[in-house]
Amino acid sequence: KPAVVSSTQASRDWNRMQSLLMSLRKCCNHPHLFPAMHRVSERLGETLATASGKLAILDRLLRSLFAGGHRVVLFSFFTSMLDILESYFTERQIPYVRLDGSTNPAQRSQNIDQFNEADSELRLFLCSTRAGGLGINLTSADTVVL
């Protein structure tokens, strides 16, 4: 006999599933996206890169790309992941600029111009997928990482 599910129950189930999928996406990016995991990593003495396989691979990839003179645009869906990446690149003394929804129009234009300058030392442009989808021209970039 088929089960009857109310639209309210189906909606709640759908919302729970969406929440679980979002948590799994965060988990795949970096465990520090969960505050409790950040504290565990600190106790274990993990660095930002060793706590995340994805960031460890990104580190190796970027080293290779920068050694070859490439300019990289790195997109992230989560601005909280951009925060983690900012901490990591600051720690590693890798110059970058960032664009997300909180970037004001003047700073946005300045970041784009600074990155596109021919003699710029900037090799890395961090960008949220929502803010970077429209109206930016990063012609100096030759590599995109999603």
Axis crossing angle, helix 53-67 with helix 79-91, rounded to the nearest 10: 60
pLDDT the model gives residue 36: 65
**2 in a domain, yes or no?**
no
In a domain, 67, yes or no: yes
Of 68 and 16, more confident: 68
Boundaries of domain holding 120: 53-145
Q: Which token pair is 95?
A: 């110059």
**DSSP single-letter state for residue 59:** H
If one counts the domains in the chain, the total is 2
User: What pLDDT sits at residue 39?
Assistant: 61
Query: Quick one: 100 and 124 in the same domain?
Result: yes
Distance of alpha carbon 85 from its chain centroid, rounded?
A: 7
Q: Please state the φ and ψ torsions of residue 48, each to the nearest 5 degrees.
A: -60, -40
Question: Which one, of 78, 72, 33, lies nearest residue 52 by Cα?
Answer: 33
pLDDT higher than 90, residue 106? yes
What is the average pLDDT value for the chain, to the nearest integer? 85
Give the pLDDT of residue 45. 45
Higher pLDDT, 46 or 51: 51
Please tell me whether residues 84 and 129 are part of one structural domain.
Answer: yes
Q: Which two tokens stand for residue 57?
A: 């691979």
Let me know if residue 1 belongs to a domain: no
| Together in a domain, 93 and 66 | yes
84 against 115, higher pLDDT:
115
What the block records as the tokens of 135 is 């109206």
- pLDDT-based confidence at 41, cuts 50/70/90? low
CATH of the domain at 73: 3.40.50.300
Q: In this predicted structure, which of 13-27, 68-82, 112-126 has the lowest mean pLDDT?
A: 13-27
Which of 86 and 1 is assigned the larger pLDDT?
A: 86
CA–CA–CA angle 50, 89, 125 (5° rounding): 125
Across 32-79, where does the E strand assignment appear? 72-76
Domain check: are 137 and 90 in the same one? yes
* Residue 72 clears pLDDT 70, i.e. is over it: yes
Which residues lie across from 74 on neighbouring strands?
126, 145
Whether the predicted pLDDT of 73 surpasses 60: yes
Same domain as 21, residue 61: no
68 and 25 together in one domain? no
State the Cα–Cα distance between residues 69 and 64, nearest whole angstrom.
9
